[in-house]
Each structure stands twice: as C-alpha cells, then as structure tokens.
Amino acid sequence: MSVQPNIGAAPAPAVPSVPAPPAPQSMWKELFRYRDNRVGVWLIVPSLLALIVVQFYPIVYTFWLILTSEKGEFLGLGNLTRLTTDTIFRGALIFSLKMGIVVVPLCLLVGLGLAMVVHSDFAKNKAIWISILIVPLMVSEIVAGMMWKILYHPTLGLVNLPLTAVGLEPIVWLQKGDTAFIALCIVEIWRISPLAFLLLYAGLNQVPRDIYEAAAVDGATRWRAFWDMTLPYIRPMFAISTILVFVWSTRTIGTIAATTQGGPGRATWNLSWFIYGMFFQRLRPHYASAAVLVMLLMTYIAGTLFVKYLWVERRSR
C-alpha cells in the first residue's frame, strides 16, 4: 500500500501592507519643512511685503477716499451718487466707450492682417518684419502724441498734404470735436495695433499645419479653413488681445495731453482725463477716486464679457 503525500492548495502570497499616506499639511508648513525652502521663503518675504504696501495700501486708501469727503466727513456712496448726475463725467464715460468701440475692432483687424501676412510663406526674414512692426508699441504716449500733432498741422502736416495737393482745404484736425475724436482714434490704432499683432501672431504659430492639408484634401476653401480651423485655435489670444486693446484705448491720457489737452472745450475728455482734472486741477481727490472705481468696474465688466464670448476652452473628453 503506497502512501501518497498530502498535497494541499498552495498558500497565498503575503500582500505587503501599504503605509497610509501622510496627513496633508498646510502650505506654510510644507514651505518651512526643509531648510532650502525656509531660506527661499525668507528671501521672498521683503518683496512680498513691498508688494502688499504698493498694491493693497493704495486700494484701501482709495476706498477710504470714495467713502469720505474732502473735509473728512463720511459720505458712504455719496460721491458715486454725484457722478450719476454729473454731465462732465457722463461725457467722459461716453467718450471712453466710443473710443473703445471704434479702436478695438480696427486694431484687431489691423493686427490680424499683419499677423497673417508675416505668418505666411510669402514673408521672408520674419524677425526683421516683426522688429519693424512693433516700433509704435515701444513709443510712449507723449512722444506718439507730439509726433502726430505735428503730422496733423493744418499747413505743415503730412496728413493734409494730399488734400492741399488736389486743391482742397486742409482739415483742422485738433480744433473741432468730431475731427479731434477721429484724430485720436487714428493715433491709438497706430500705437496699439502692434500689441494685437504680436499676440495674434503668437496664436497663429500654435496652429498645426496638417489641419490645412486635411482641409485642402476635403476641398475646403481658404476662407472656410480660416473660419473653421484658424479662428478656434487663436480665439483665446483673440480674447486677450481684445481685453488689452480695450484697456489701453479707454485709459489713454498721454496722447490726449500731447495733442488736444481735453479740448476743444471738453470734447475729448475721457475717464482718465476726467480723473486727472478732478484730482490735480480742481483738487477733489475723493470725487476723482469715485471715478477710478467706475473705470475699474467698466474694465472688469468688459473683460468678463470678452472672455465669456470669445474664449474657447478645450476640454478633453
């Protein structure tokens, strides 16, 4: 009788115990955990304190000015209420919005056109063209205003030269309200379009070229390829360009100071010039601070709308 060994099931391998993850620590404890982090944080602290003083103290002080009068009396929303009945303020607000409505789309069109030309295969030496096109962006508002003021001279300016060459009367650009508005818009378009050009050109460089090859195979026209393929890729840059151009065009003050100085009369007063006039000329800083808050709210509302309707976020599904 043979004895067979007792063969049972093989024992299961032991599963190593996984240690529990450490309890999450606060950001500050994590920063000060290692010696290198502590040194870096202490080196940042002076700059952080300086940033708080430079940024937050003026904000708090501005709100204190808004809520009080020049005599130190607490007014609450009195300064903001007075703005609603101020015809000078309403004219400055309308002028700022009008300039934004005119300058923003024209700057975007000029910037997009220049970006597409430089991005195309026909443009050689792209770095040279970019360096030339961004020259107006590096010119300050005062210098640009003085230069264009000379160009707008009724008899000596180059802007009126074509009119006088054909026997027409020269236009006195800066001494009438309507022509002064057009003149300022032209200056701002010349000065700000390079910013839109740089941002949109950067966006065009992110568009993959193979989508155009696929569109050509499918028989899509250039306009259809641009509308359905190029615009969705550059739309985030388009939104950023719109916000920055709107802010620059509605807050300009150096160009007005160098060309019209708010004239004729108050025809070219924008919000920035209104704030300057109330703060430094009429010595009403509390009232001017209320206009600053309105300008910030206008910028915030416009930026929110631009991001909402122009920005396209790519979501992975």
Tokens describing residue 258: 């160098």
pLDDT band at 315 (very low <50, low <70, confident <90, very high): very low
- Residue-wise pLDDT for 168-201, tens only, equals 888 999 999 999 999 999 999 999 999 999 999 9
Residue 153 has pLDDT above 60, yes or no: yes
Phi (first) and psi of residue 312, to 5 degrees? -120, 115
- Find all residues with CB under 8 Å of 214, minimum gap 6, and list them: none
Residue 18's SS3 state is coil
| Cα–Cα dist 14/12, whole Å | 6
User: Is the distance from CB of 91 to CB of 269 less than 8 angstroms?
Assistant: yes
- Residue-wise pLDDT for 210-234, tens only, equals 777 777 777 777 777 778 788 888 8
In sequence order, the β-bridge partners of residue 68 are 74
Calculate the average pLDDT of the chain: 84
Residue 264 has pLDDT above 70, yes or no: yes
Output the pLDDT for position 55: 82
**Residue tagged 């994590």 (tokens):** 30
CA 19, 23, 24: angle at the middle one, nearest 5?
130
Q: What integer is the mean pLDDT of 145-157?
A: 92
Q: What integer is the mean pLDDT of 97-121?
A: 93
- Residue-wise pLDDT for 7-19, tens only, equals 555 555 555 555 5
Residue 249 has pLDDT above 90, yes or no: yes
Estimate the crossing angle of helix 141-151 against helix 177-205, to 10 degrees.
130
pLDDT band at 317 (very low <50, low <70, confident <90, very high): very low
The residue type of 240 is: I
In sequence order, the β-bridge partners of residue 74 are 68
Rounded percentage of the chain residues whose pLDDT exceeds 70? 86
Q: What integer is the mean pLDDT of 239-245?
A: 92
Q: What integer is the mean pLDDT of 99-122?
A: 93
Output the pLDDT for position 163: 84
Radius of gyration of the chain (CA): 30
CATH 1.10.3720.10 maps onto the chain at 86-310
- Residue-wise pLDDT for 1-60, tens only, equals 455 555 555 555 555 555 555 555 555 565 556 555 667 777 788 888 888 888 888 888
What is the CATH number assigned to the segment(s) 86-310? 1.10.3720.10
Output the pLDDT for position 222: 74
Helices (DSSP H) in 68-176: which residue ranges? 78-84, 87-119, 126-133, 141-151, 161-165
CA 215, 221, 223: angle at the middle one, nearest 5?
110
Q: Please choose, from the candidates 277, 282, 286, the residue with its C-alpha nearest in 3D space to the C-alpha of residue 79.
A: 286
pLDDT band at 107 (very low <50, low <70, confident <90, very high): very high
pLDDT band at 76 (very low <50, low <70, confident <90, very high): confident
Output the pLDDT for position 314: 45
